[in-house]
Amino acid sequence: MSGTSPASNLQSVLVYIPGQRGSYFASEVLRSGGFDVSNVSNRTELELALERLPCKIVVTVTSAIGEVRTLCNLPVVNIQAFVLPNHAPATADQSALFDREAFLKRVRRNLGSPDAAFPPSSTTRFN
- With cut-offs at 50, 70 and 90, classify the pLDDT of residue 73: very high
Asked whether the beta carbons of 57 and 14 are under 8 A apart, the reply is yes
- Average per-residue pLDDT for the chain: 83
9: CB partners within 8 A, 6+ apart: none
Q: Is the pTM of this model over 0.85?
A: no
At 45-67, the pLDDT tens digits run 999 999 999 999 999 999 999 99
Domains parsed from the chain with CATH numbers: 2-119 (3.40.50.2300)
Label each residue of 42-68 as H, E or C: CHHHHHHHHHHCCCCEEEECHHHHHHH
